[in-house]
Every structure is written in C-alpha cells, then in structure tokens.
Structure 1
Amino acid sequence: MTSSLERQVLRKISWRIVPFIMLLYFISFIDRVNIGFASLTMNKDLGFSSSVFGFGAGIFFLGYFLFEVPSNIVLDRVGARLWIARVMVTWGILSVAFAFIKGENSFYALRFLLGVAEAGFFPGIILYLSYWFPARRRAQVVSLFMAAAPISTVLGSPLSGALLEMHGIMGLKGWQWMFILEGIPAVLLGFAVLVYLTDRPEKATWLAKEEREWLVNTMNAEHAAKGARAHHSIWRGLADLRVLALSLIYFGTSAGLYTLGIWAPQIIKQFGLSTMNVGLLNAVPPTIAIVAMILWARHSDRTGERTWHVVIACLIAAVGLALAGMASSVVTVVLALSLVNVGISSAKPPLWSMPTMFLSGPAAAAGIATINSIGNLGGFVGPSAIGWIKDATGSFLGGLYVVAGLLCLSAALTLVLAGSQRRSQSVAETTNT
C-alpha cells in the first residue's frame, strides 16, 4: 500500500524532474529528425538523391553507436548535470552548422558529428531516472519522458513547415533558417541544465529532510534487493546476453521510429500537398500516439507485465508500415502512420523498464548505453534502406516492408527473451529448494 510520504515524494520529484527532461528530449528529437522536413526543399537545392539523403540521415547513428557506451560511463562517473549540459551545448552548435552545408560530404560529416555529440543523452536520462524512481513506477515515468518525441513531432512539424516558408529572408533558404532557429534552444538549455539538474537524491536540497531520507533509503533498498541476481560491473553489463537480446529488439523499434521521423514528411508530400499542409498532417499521428503511449505504460506498470506490451505494440507498428506502403490517399496514409506511431511509441516504455530489472550501477550505465547504441543502428538501416529502395524502384513500398519485417523480428525476440527468463528463474528456484 502506498504511504502518504511516498505519494508526496514521488509527486514532488515527478514535477521537478519529468517536465524538464521532457523539454530536453523535445529539443533533442527536433534537432535529430528535422532533417526530414529540410529534405522537402534542401534536397532539390543541393541535388541530393533519395539514397544520398537516406544515407546521410542514417549516418547520425554510426557516430551515436561508436560513442554511446563511453559517454554513458562518463555520465555515471561525473554526474548527469555536467555531462548532459556538455551534450546539449555541442549538439546545439552542430545543429546550427547544418544551415551552412554545401554538398554531400559536409552533410555526411555533420550528421556523423551530431551523432557523436548527442551520444549518451537518451540512455543517460534512462539511467538518471533509475536513480530517482522505484522500478514499479519507472515505465510510467519513462513514458512521460518519451512522450516528448511524439510531442516534438506534433509541435515541430507545423513549426518546421512554417520556417521553410522563410525562404529568402536575409539571403538564406527556408531550410537554413529552420536549422538555425531550432538549434539555438539546445545551447541555451545546456546552460540551464547546469543550474537546474540535481545529480542524485542525496544532493536534493529541494526535498525536505524526511522526504530525502525516504527516497535515498528506498532506492538503496531496491539496489540491495537485486543482490546476487543483479550485475554491477561494466563488463558484466556489456557481456550479458539479455543486453544483446534487448539491443536487437530495440533495433527494430528504432528502424520504425526514424523511418517516421525522417521519411514521413516525404511519404505525405507525395500526395501533392504544400509544405505547410504536410507539417499539419504530420502532426496528427503522434498526437494520437501520445495518449496511447501513456495509457499503455500505465497498464504495463499496473499489471507488472512487460513482454506482451512490447510484442503487441511492435506488431501494430508493423501492420501500420505495411498499410502505409499500400495507401492510395492522404487519409489512408495518415491513418496508417497513426498505427505506426502508436505501436512504436507504446513499445518503448515497457522495453526500457527491462534492463534495470537485472542491471545496476556501472553495469546499468554500460548495459543501457549498449542497448541504445546497437539498437539505434536501426535508425541507420531503416532510413537508408528506404532511400536505396526508393531510388531503385521509385516507391516507398519495399522499404516500408523491410522496416515492418524488422519490427516483427523484434516481437519474436521479445517472446524468446521472456521464455529464456522464465526457464532461468525456474532453474534458480529448483536449485534453491
């Protein structure tokens, strides 16, 4: 039964932490995928083919992959406040620099460097939340944090569409203004992080003494309760087969997420709409996804069930991708993309509640970063495959089928992992008795 002190503390830390990190992720996601809107005019200005654009958009995740684990290990050692501030300032500067790309090479280089700069932000926040919120509340909190991604599409799509209309002001193209004006907030918020964020509950002077003691004791007890079944060292976190399985599951969801972020504007644009109308319609599917994601995560927390919450959501997204490829009107494509958004967004909170159930300390930092870095390679494979296949066939259909297949694989691997976990627990219980 939840005590009044527990409710009070969780309410206070939720209001203190969650809205702020949602704002950070909101800006992060806009800067990561606004390239999709830029492509509506930038590709023609710079002479980019679909394959060039798809590869450049995806190469972000190669830089992300290479630096993700080191970045998260550094965060665990120096603290979230300092490291997340560094991440935001550097990615904001690079985002602004996109306004001045001249061709393929500068496009590829900046996308790669943006991935390097942003490496560690998302898994760092997931790790950070595990310092503050008990495991039984984590999926719901993660869902609120991750709701910033679809919210960024809801608000960012019409904003990006409007900024593209600034063509010619002060001699700059609309897409150049978009990169400049959407990159500056990350730099400003980086300095805000230094002032606002608190590294650990022990340092939370904004909590009353009784509240702080309850939170510290609760999180320490949860950490101790993992005991022998939790892995604590960096190498254990990297070597755990469950980490590899979760990485492959996340690979499919990332392929779906960044297919949406990078290619959805062009998928909608093919029906002959203006950039402003594309921005407005592209905001509809994630609006639906925000509500579905939060309700799905609450149900997962209430029932304590994770596996089927991931499996069903992945399959819904796969069906949506297949339907989007066959859509013959703007209405049907928006409905199909709504299914994809709902499935992708709903799969992630229960999925991200799994690693900290068997990892803690440096192992959690390394394990979460490994899942995110390997998994986010799907963000390279999905968008790149769509670009290559579209150039070869003239259609989005084949590429969307590929990404749908990756999501079906994620669903299957989730079931395999769950079965393996049940067998391991059964063996452990038999041995103990």
Structure 2
Amino acid sequence: MSVPSYGPESGSAADPHNAALYAKLTRRIVPFLFLAFVVAYIDRVNVSFAKLQMLSDLSLSETVYGAGAGIFFVGYFFFEVPSNLILNRVGARRWIARIMVTWAIVSALTMFVSGPTSFYVMRFLLGVAEAGFSPGILLYLSNWFPSTRRSQIIALFMTAIPVSGAIGGPLSGWLMAHFAGTYGLAGWRWLFVVEGLGSLAVGIAAFFVLHDRIDNVRWLNADEKSRLAADLARDASTRTETSARGAFASKRVWLLGLLYFCIAMGNYGLAFWVPTIIKASGVASVSNIGWLSAVPSLISAVAMVLIARHADRHDERRVHVAVCCAIGALGLLASVLFASNVAVSIAALIIAAIGINSIAPVFWGIPTALLGGAGAAAGIAVINCTGNLAGFVSPFIVGRLSDLSGGKLLPGMLAIAVALLIGAAIVLRMPLRRASASAASAPNSSIPQRT
C-alpha cells in the first residue's frame, strides 16, 4: 500500500523548521493534560484494587463487581455527547475543570459504599461526572496540533493510561495496606478518599492552566501564532466539514464507534482484571500485586509512543491498529493460560499491555483527521461513548463468566480476545480516506489520501 509524504508543500506542520514551535506546544500543553488523565484513570479503575478487600468486606460476588465496575460507562454513555457539545461552546478551560472537580467529589464519596445498590449508584454517578473528559481533551488537542503530528501527541497524552497503572498500582496497594484500620476504616475506603482529593487539586488547577484560543496565550510570539494558525487552517481543509446532526447520521462515525467498542473491550479487560490475574498466579500481598502491576504499564508506555510515532511517520493507521489488536488478544490469553507461573504470566501481561495500550493513540488519529466543523465535537463524542459501552460490557462479561466457571478467568479473557480480533478485522476492511491538503484547496478535486 502506498503512503503519501507530507512535505512542506502539503502542510508546514511537517516542515523541520517548525520543530521548535511544536516542541514548545508539546512542553506547554501535554504535561498538564497528561497529569489530568493520570488522576482521571486512577479514579476510574482504582476499584480493581479496592476489589481485593471490598468484595469480602461487603460480601459482593464477582458478578456484582463486574456490573458495578461497568455501570460507570452507562452514565458516561448518556452524558458524553451533551458534555462535549457544551465544552465546544463554553471552552475547555471551564468545562474540563468542572468535570474534574465533580468526579473528584464523587470518587471520594465512594468510600461510603455499603452494598451492591450504593456501589452501583456511586459508579454510575462517577461516569456521569467524568463524561466528556477524554473526547474533550482529544478535541482540545485537535485545536492545537495538525493531523500529521496528532497520533504521537495523543500517544504522549495517553501514556497516562499505563503510567496511571504504574503509579496507581503501587499507590493503591500502599494506601490499602498502610491505612487499613485508621479511624476504624478499611484500607479500600481510604483508597477512594485520598485518590479523589488528588483529582480535586488538579481539577482546580485546570481552570488556571488551560487556554481555549491561540490568541490568549502569552508564551507564543506573533510569528509562532501566525504559523500555527496557518498549519491548523491547512489541516482543517482536509477534513469533512459536518454538522452535529450530520455526525449522528454518518455511517462512518458509527462504524468507528463499533471499532472503538472492540478496542475498549481490551482496554478495560486489562485495566479491571490485571490485579486479579496477578493474584491468580500466586501473589498474595496487595502491595506486591501493586508493584507487579506496574511492570506491564511502564513498558507499554514506551512502546505506545514508538508505535504512534511510526504510524505518523508512514501516515498509516489501519495496519497498526489491527496488529496491536492481535498482539493484545494473544497476550491476554497467554496471561491466564500460564497463570500458574508468575514470570510467564507477567511476561504475557507485558505483551498484552503493549498491544492494547498502543491501539487508542493510533486509532484516534483516524477520526480527528476525518472530521471537521461542529461535527467533530459530536462525532468524537459519539465514537468515544459508543466504544466506552465496552467499559460496562467487558467487566460484566468477565465477572459473569468467572462466576459461572467456578472462578476461572480463561472464559472471560477469551471473550475479550475475540472482541479484539473482530476489531482487527473491522479496521482492515474500513475505507478510511481523507482529502489531501493540496486537493482540498482545488474546488473540483476529489483525490483521496489514505488514513
């Protein structure tokens, strides 16, 4: 398959003379968004560590845990699109700060869960509070970085997922072990309140750190603002301008949502069950489980940046997504098939994490390059919330199959692996094309360019 080159004639975003400009943008924008995503993801999946104590304390079954872990995404689904449309109207600075402060409060209040009903309610409210965060950040990045640089920028941002695992695992294990019994509260209750307070601090800071418009920043000079605006305008000319209604009616948007559903099945199969897989290999201490869970996360953080950079360099994303789906599926299966051997199981989890965590940054380079106008906010939100329904389906299926099979993880991981392989098949058959910058500038041109 031929791949197009992006020389200066097709967009100065690829001009080496712009390297300093985009390095400055990266330093100024990405680190804070990375921090925000780290605390968001820790609050989203810290229930996987709380599970190690909470289930016995509250007499909850694996099915109840799976449903509670997943019901987060029901609230997320219903409020995702409205949240992203509001963000597009009022600006990222205000809305992302609002999202973070709200979810921090809900996360901390999860410490008061006392049974299945309150567990379900708090997880649902957490999803409502966080709805719009991830697609809002993706939309925000598309307003600062052209598509020829976006996969690697998204990858830098999304390394927060494995890094949150590397930080959240040891932190969660330490909190649960060392705060257990303090003021008469179980360790898992302290886990929710302490990590929730961290999100609250970052959420307040977001209001003062983020900027909605290029014109509003003081750290770019007039020439840099002019060059950036020109790059973004050139990039916007390659997208299909659509309305919010047009995004809802687009078959391509819904097919991308289905693809992302398969990808997210793998994401949350990994996120919600890694501690359980490690425990099944014979590791009993929650602190040791936390430290071991950090290993796949750290290694995959490096891999996902390298893979996304390779995808950007070759302007090719379909094969990258498909290969990573297959690697993730095989790694997950191997981690439970060889669960009796700690070293082999951890090695398999590393492979699974490299594959699964590397998919999303490359995948999001596709819709952000294809969609423009008001439809970008709606389309990205539709894709994200449709895909994130897997956040409910994935843990529920694994939990249910585990209960039905007498506590075995293999049936659930097999279901996750099948979903990833279906995703690989979908992306390889998708006709993903966008107009080239030069073609888009010609009124009668219809020359497509591969994504």
Q: What is the TM-score of this pair, normalised by structure 2?
A: 0.91
Q: Deviations over 1:271-295 (max 9, x none)?
A: 2421111111111111110111011
In the alignment, which residue of structure 2 is the partner of 1:205? 218
Q: Judge conservation of contact 1:248–1:374 (CA < 8 Å) in 2.
A: yes
Unaligned runs of 5+ in 1: none
Residue among 100, 109, 128 paired with 2:121: 109
> 1:154 Cα deviation (Å)?
0.6
Distance 1:66 1:56 in 2: 17
1:232 aligned onto 2:245: no
In the alignment, which residue of structure 1 is the partner of 2:5? none
Residue among 366, 372, 381 paired with 2:384: 372
Moved over 6 A (4+): none
Q: Which amino acid aligns with 1:297?
A: A
1:14 aligned onto 2:9: no
Q: Deviations over 1:363-387 (max 9, x none)?
A: 1100111111000111111111010
Q: Judge conservation of contact 2:370–2:433 (CA < 8 Å) in 1.
A: no
1:321 aligned onto 2:336: no
In the alignment, which residue of structure 2 is the partner of 1:297? 308
In the alignment, which residue of structure 2 is the partner of 1:344? 356
Residue among 262, 273, 281 paired with 1:263: 273
Distance 2:160 2:373 in 1: 26
**Cα distance change on mapping 1:217 and 1:429 into 2, 3 Å:** closer
Q: How many residues align?
A: 423
Distance 2:260 2:15 in 1: 35
Distance 1:307 1:262 in 2: 27
Distance 2:424 2:19 in 1: 35
Distance 2:262 2:342 in 1: 26
Distance 1:274 1:110 in 2: 27
1:361 aligned onto 2:378: no
Q: Judge conservation of contact 1:202–1:216 (CA < 8 Å) in 2.
A: no
Q: Judge conservation of contact 1:60–1:114 (CA < 8 Å) in 2.
A: yes
Q: Deviations over 1:327-378 (max 9, x none)?
A: 1211122111111111111111110000122211211100111111000111
Distance 1:169 1:377 in 2: 37
Q: Residue 206 of structure 1: SS of its match in structure 2?
A: coil
Q: Which moved more, 1:199-208 or 1:103-112?
A: 199-208
Q: Deviations over 1:380-433 (max 9, x none)?
A: 111110100111102011000001000001000001113x759xx9x9559xxx
Distance 1:304 1:311 in 2: 15
> 1:4 Cα deviation (Å)?
6.4
Q: Residue 345 of structure 2: SS of its match in structure 1?
A: helix
Q: Judge conservation of contact 1:63–1:115 (CA < 8 Å) in 2.
A: yes
In the alignment, which residue of structure 2 is the partner of 1:312? 323
In the alignment, which residue of structure 2 is the partner of 1:60? 72
> 1:8 Cα deviation (Å)?
2.2
Distance 1:358 1:249 in 2: 15
In the alignment, which residue of structure 2 is the partner of 1:273? 284
Q: What is the TM-score of this pair, normalised by structure 1?
A: 0.95
In the alignment, which residue of structure 1 is the partner of 2:55? 43
Q: Which has the higher helix share?
A: 1
In the alignment, which residue of structure 1 is the partner of 2:186? 173
> 1:245 Cα deviation (Å)?
1.3
Report the RMSD for the aligned CA atoms in angstroms.
Answer: 1.7
Unaligned runs of 5+ in 2: 1-7, 9-13, 440-444
Residue among 163, 173, 198 paired with 1:185: 198
Q: Which moved more, 1:24-33 or 1:230-239?
A: 230-239
Distance 1:296 1:429 in 2: 28
Q: Deviations over 1:245-294 (max 9, x none)?
A: 11111111111111121111111112242111111111111111011101
Residue among 247, 251, 255 paired with 1:241: 251
Alignment of 1:80-229 (within 5 A): 80-165=92-177, 166-226=179-239
In the alignment, which residue of structure 1 is the partner of 2:260? 250
Q: Which amino acid aligns with 1:397?
A: L
Distance 2:447 2:105 in 1: 53
Q: Judge conservation of contact 2:167–2:294 (CA < 8 Å) in 1.
A: yes
Distance 1:279 1:218 in 2: 44
> 1:46 Cα deviation (Å)?
0.6
In the alignment, which residue of structure 1 is the partner of 2:4? none
Distance 1:252 1:225 in 2: 27
Q: Which moved more, 1:351-360 or 1:197-206?
A: 197-206
